[in-house]
Amino acid sequence: MAMHESILPAVGDGPVGDNHRVTRPRLVYLKVPKTASSSVMRMVQEALELGTNQILSGTSWFGEEATPPDDRYKAVMAHVTWNDAARLLDDPTAWVPIVTLRDPLERTVSHYRYLRQRALQTNLLSRFRPVCDEALARPLRELVHDETSAFHGWTMPVQTFFLGADLPCGIPEVRLPDTVHSPDFHHQALQCALDRLHRLAWIGIVETLPRDMRTLAFSQGWPVPDVLHDNRTTPVGADSDAFSELDPATRRVLANRLAADYVLLECAREIAAERYGEMVETMGIAASRRNGRA
């Protein structure tokens, strides 16, 4: 896709289809937990001048009593899988998916740290309390090896599953189903996720997020955004304790369990770098034309 083309169709008002299903293109940000979503959400919201009542950010709409989004919403930015979002649209090609991805080990450590922080909140919903309290009480190393722990499901290739698997809505505190243990499930999810990478309108990589957000901004004619904070997880400061618990044996277990996510990330990096290169080339051509005219 040429960089001068808009990768995000206009998200203006449009009709609602039968059974309240969305018929006009919508921006759908597949928010994989702990992948720098806050920076991207702020950028999109400010650039499109969306009010909070125009962004569907909750997860209850995937429950049994859920109502699919109607035209009050101009964007969906929630912890939703590709398949969850596609079910609510008449034409899967009519919605515009974007995603950010992160080093799988960093994402796992960040998620664990996030749950520990949530456990200290007094207003935490009761259904989230067990897994948050578990993270606060037990070291990460222990949870990685304990298949009965609530957090264990989140030590799987979550990013691959969000893009390529048929899983329920990804509420960050809820355990993933036991089917993720199947090697065949991992392989099938990865093949599907790799195919969908090329169908994503935009891919951001946490380690290069400032660069990738510039790519998105350029394609839309948006102001160049600032990243809210550095989301990279490093073995220093607040994250040092979590990383120190990952002894070599535990790291090997995680590396094997997260193998699909590592393959997905490498392919995503190539696509993001290529799109950035296209942006730079387009800017160079435009500058040459301006100089020529001058």
Task: Check residue 286 and give its pLDDT.
Answer: 67
Sort residue 48 into left (φ over 0), alpha (ψ -120 to 50) or beta: alpha
- Cα distance between residue 25 and residue 9, in whole Å: 7
The answer to whether 94 and 25 have CB atoms below 8 angstroms apart is yes
Taking only the tens place, the pLDDT of each residue in 95-150 is 788 999 999 999 999 999 999 999 998 888 787 888 899 999 999 999 999 988 98
Backbone angles phi, psi at 278, to 5 degrees: -65, -40
Taking only the tens place, the pLDDT of each residue in 12-55 is 444 444 444 545 557 888 888 899 888 888 888 888 787 777 77
Q: Which residue has the higher pLDDT, 167 or 241?
A: 167
pLDDT category at 4 given cuts 50, 70, 90 is very low
Tokens of 226: 């600032």
What DSSP letter does each residue of the chain carry, written as one string?
--TTS-SS-------B-GGG-B-S--EEEE--TTSSHHHHHHHHHHHTT--GGGEE--SGGGSTT-----TT-SEEEES--HHHHHHTBS-GGGSEEEEEE--HHHHHHHHHHHHHHHHT-TT--TTTHHHHHHHHHS-HHHHHH-TTSTTGGGGS-HHHHHHHS------TTSPPPGGGG-HHHHHHHHHHHHHHHTT-SEEEEGGGHHHHHHHHHHHHTPPPPPPSS-----SSGGGHHHHHT--HHHHHHHHHHTHHHHHHHHHHHHHHHHHHHHHHHHHHHHHHHHHHH-
Task: Check residue 139 and give its pLDDT.
Answer: 93
The model carries a pTM of 0.82
Dihedral (CA of 166, 167, 170, 176) sign: negative
Name the burial class of residue 93, with classes exposed (0-12), middle (13-18) and buried (19+) by CB atoms within 10 angstroms of its CB: exposed
- The amino acid at residue 211 is R
User: What does pLDDT average to over the chain?
Assistant: 78
pLDDT category at 244 given cuts 50, 70, 90 is low
Taking only the tens place, the pLDDT of each residue in 53-99 is 777 676 544 444 445 556 667 777 777 788 877 766 555 566 788 99
Taking only the tens place, the pLDDT of each residue in 191-213 is 999 999 988 989 999 999 999 99
Angle at 268 between CA 274 and CA 186, to 5 degrees: 155
- Write down the domain spans for the chain: 18-103+157-232+260-293
Rounded to 10°, the helix 209-220/37-47 angle is 20
- Cα distance between residue 160 and residue 61, in whole Å: 22
pLDDT category at 282 given cuts 50, 70, 90 is confident
Backbone angles phi, psi at 29, to 5 degrees: -95, 110
Task: Check residue 294 and give its pLDDT.
Answer: 47
Mean local confidence (pLDDT), 272-294: 79
- The amino acid at residue 118 is R
Backbone angles phi, psi at 213, to 5 degrees: -70, -30
- Cα distance between residue 251 and residue 203, in whole Å: 27
- What is the pairing mode between strands 27-30 and 202-205? unpaired
Task: Check residue 12 and give its pLDDT.
Answer: 43
